[in-house]
Amino acid sequence: MTTTPARAGPLRAVARELLDLVLPVTCAGCGAPGRPLCPGCLARFAGPPRRCEQAAGRLDRMDGTVLPVWALAENDGAVRRAVIGWKDRGRADVTPWLGAAVRRAGTAVRGEVRGAVAGPARGTLLVVPAPASPRGRARRGEDLVGALARSAAAGLRDAAPLPALRLARGGRDQVGLGVRGRAVNLAGRVRVRPRTRPELAGARVLLVDDVLTTGATLAACRSALEGAGAQVAGALVLAVTRPPGSPTGWLEAAANPG
Ligand SMILES: [Zn+2]
């Protein structure tokens, strides 16, 4: 008898819970015992957020400018392992650690975000998480990116988290999809939650997501929000994937020329 894929997920989750009872906490980035993120891996998320929109091809705005995106880290090595563990392998215990880093990042980019869209700085900045698929949320048990958005809003001050977006049915969870598959999977599926429309109209928004790769997710989010009358000032992501052909460390090099 074989285990069907439909049964494997829940069984794995139960097995992990049982293991957690007997195994010590390990770092989601490097496996070192002691904490959900060891000091070394946590440090990868602790530097000043860096502008990274040049890594993604799909963030051009209608007005010819590019949506600003700030990233905490490059999505490789321990960062990549930690983010995958957090999102897809049941390491929700990492959320508070990443949340603290995102909160600091929010404070660090506060002035830049407020200056990123034209017009008077009026009202509360709304911090909108990129939507999770219903399936992904069910599997993870909570909206992880929503938790990051709450942390970012706390760091930005005069800001409020607003889970204004959802994914319409019809696609699948992004896990395991290639770059092109992700773009197709998301195209046209990001929707504004109707009850949030009054708040969005005329408001300035900062998007929050976990990883920036092609920019397809953020582009779809921005277009939905702009359709509701919001001005999207930019996005804050945990990690950015290195563009093909770029050397290791390109993010630091691009942000700190010389
Ligand atoms: Zn570590």
CATH of the domain at 149: 3.40.50
Q: What is the pLDDT of residue 5?
A: 47
> From CA 155, how far away is CA 109, in angstroms rounded?
9
Quick check: is 67 in a domain? yes
Quick check: is 62 in a domain? yes
Q: What is the pLDDT of residue 174?
A: 61
Taking the C-alpha atoms of 233, 238, 244 and 245 in order, what is their torsion angle to the nearest 10 degrees?
A: 100
Cβ atoms of 103 and 127 within 8 Å: the answer is no
Interhelix angle 95-108/77-88, nearest 10 degrees: 120
Quick check: is 18 in a domain? no
Residue of 255, 240, 206 whose CA lies nearest to 83: 240
> From CA 76, how far away is CA 103, in angstroms rounded?
22
Taking the C-alpha atoms of 7, 9, 13 and 16 in order, what is their torsion angle to the nearest 10 degrees?
A: 100
The domain tally of the chain equals 1
Quick check: is 244 in a domain? yes
Q: Report the separation in Å between the CA atom of 88 and the middle of ligand 1, taken as the mean of its atom positions.
A: 18
Q: Report the separation in Å between the CA atom of 104 and the middle of ligand 1, taken as the mean of its atom positions.
A: 20
Taking the C-alpha atoms of 106, 107, 113 and 115 in order, what is their torsion angle to the nearest 10 degrees?
A: 180
Query: Please, which pLDDT band fits residue 172 given cuts at 50, 70 and 90?
Result: low
DSSP string covering 93-115, please? GGHHHHHHHHHHHHHHTHHHHHT
Q: Report the separation in Å between the CA atom of 243 and the middle of ligand 1, taken as the mean of its atom positions.
A: 24
Q: Each residue of 17-72: pLDDT tens digit?
A: 776 667 779 999 999 999 999 999 999 999 889 999 888 877 877 677 789 999 99
Q: Report the separation in Å between the CA atom of 26 and the middle of ligand 1, taken as the mean of its atom positions.
A: 8
Q: Each residue of 72-104: pLDDT tens digit?
A: 999 999 999 999 999 988 899 999 999 999 999
Quick check: is 11 in a domain? no
Tokens of 128: 């909108």
> From CA 137, how far away is CA 127, in angstroms rounded?
19
> From CA 30, how far away is CA 82, in angstroms rounded?
8
Hey, which residues does 50 pair with through a beta bridge?
71
Quick check: is 5 in a domain? no
Quick check: is 25 in a domain? no
Q: Report the separation in Å between the CA atom of 191 and the middle of ligand 1, taken as the mean of its atom positions.
A: 37
Quick check: is 26 in a domain? no
Q: Each residue of 179-210: pLDDT tens digit?
A: 566 666 776 799 999 999 999 999 999 999 99
Q: Report the separation in Å between the CA atom of 43 and the middle of ligand 1, taken as the mean of its atom positions.
A: 9
Q: Count other C-beta atoms under 10 Å from residue 78's C-beta.
A: 22
Q: Report the separation in Å between the CA atom of 214 and the middle of ligand 1, taken as the mean of its atom positions.
A: 27
Q: Report the separation in Å between the CA atom of 30 and the middle of ligand 1, taken as the mean of its atom positions.
A: 4
Residue 220 has pLDDT above 70, yes or no: yes
Q: Report the separation in Å between the CA atom of 156 and the middle of ligand 1, taken as the mean of its atom positions.
A: 27
- Domain that includes residue 133, residue range: 48-255
Q: Helix (H, G, I), strand (E, B), or coil: what is residue 161? A: strand
